[in-house]
Amino acid sequence: MKNRHFALLYLALFLILAKLSPFIITALVMGLYLSIIVDYVARFLGLFIKKPRSLSRVLANVLIFLMIAYSAVNFFPVIIKEAQRVFSEIDRVRTGLENMEIPEWVSSIISNISASFSEGALSLVNRIVGYVPSFITAAVLIVITSFIVSSLKKLVKENVSYLFPKDPEDGKRFLKTTYSEFERFVGGQVLVAIFVGVFVGVGAFLFRIPSAFFLGMLAFITDFVPYLGVIISAIPLLMLSFSVHGLYGLLIGTIILVAANQLEMWILAPRIQSSALNIHWFIILITILIFGDLFSFGGVLIALPFLIFLRNYWKHYVMGG
C-alpha cells in the first residue's frame, strides 16, 4: 500500500511528458505496441519454426516492418494520384453545370464549395509536409523502442527497488499485472485487426476497387489506432472507389467501412475488452475522445494504457485486490 504514491507520481510524470512532448511519447507508446505485436507474431511462427528459436522472432520483425513500410510507401502516392482524379472530376462537373442554365446563386455555391475543398486539401498537404521531420524522428524512435522493449523490461525488473523503495515485491507485482493486461489486450487486437484487414481487402477485391491488397494491409495496420484508424484507412478506400465507380463507388466503399467497423465494435472488440479490460465500451470511447482532445493524436494511443493502469491501480492499492 505504501507504493501507491509512487505509482501516482509515475502516472502524473507520464501525462505531463505526453503533454509537453507529444511526438516523443507517442512514438515510444507506438514502439511498445509494435513490440507486443511482433511478440505475438513470433509466437505464431514459433509453432511452425522450432529451431533456431530466434528465427521466428527475426521473421516476425521482418514481416511486420515490411507490412508497415509497404503501407506507408503506397499511402501518399495513392492519395496524391486519386486526389488529382477527384479534382478533375469536380472540375468536369462544375464545367458541365456552368454550361447549363442554372441560377447564378447555385453556380456561386458550387464554385465556393469547390474552392473551399481545394484550399482545404492544399492546407492539409502543407501541414503534412511541415510534420515530415517530426515523423522521421518518431519513426526512428518507434523502431528503436520496439527492438529494446525486452531489454527495458529486464532493466525495470532488476531496478524495481529504486522505483518502489517501500515494498519492491509489491511494486513488481503491480507492474507485472499492469503490463500483462495491456499485452493481453494488444494480443487480442491483433486478431481483430487481421479480421478487419481481410474484410476490407476482400470487399475491395470483390467490388473491383483498385489496390485491394494495399487497402486490406492499411486497414490491418491502422486498426491498432482506436477509432482514428478507420478514418485513416477510409481516405484512400473512398477515393479509389469514387475514381473507378463514381458516386456508386462511394456508396460501396462506405458500406465496406461501416460493415467492418460495426462488426469490430459490436461483436469482436467487446469480447476482447471484457476479457482484457473489463471496462464498459462507452467509458473507453469517452476516455479516448478526452485524451485525443488533451493530447492530440498521441492521446488516442495512450488512453487505453492509462485506463489499464488506473483500473489496476484502483484494484491493487485502493481496493486491496
Comparing 137-141, 151-155, 292-296, the range with the smallest average pLDDT is 137-141
Read off the pLDDT of residues 55-80 as tens digits, 9 standing for 90 and up: 888 888 888 888 888 887 887 777 77
Sorting pLDDT into bands at 50, 70 and 90, what band is 285? confident
Sorting pLDDT into bands at 50, 70 and 90, what band is 307? confident
- pLDDT at position 270: 63
- pLDDT at position 168: 85
Q: Using alpha carbons only, what angle is made at residue 147 by residues 198 and 201, rounded to the nearest 5 degrees?
A: 10
211 contacts 54 by C-beta, under 8 angstroms: no
Read off the pLDDT of residues 110-123 as tens digits, 9 standing for 90 and up: 666 666 655 655 56
224 contacts 251 by C-beta, under 8 angstroms: no
- pLDDT of 3 > 60? The answer is yes
Total count of domains within the chain: 1
Global pTM? 0.76
- pLDDT of 125 > 60? The answer is no
Sorting pLDDT into bands at 50, 70 and 90, what band is 227? low
To which H or E segment does residue 29 belong? helix 22-46
- pLDDT of 51 > 60? The answer is yes
Task: Kindly report the three-state secondary structure assignment for every residue of 213-250.
Answer: HHHHHHHHHHCCCCCHHHHHHHHHHHHHHHHHHCHHHH
Measured CA to CA, the distance from residue 227 to residue 92 in angstroms comes to 34
Domain of residue 124, residue span: 4-318
Return the residue matching grid coordinates 456552368. 98
DSSP state of 1: -
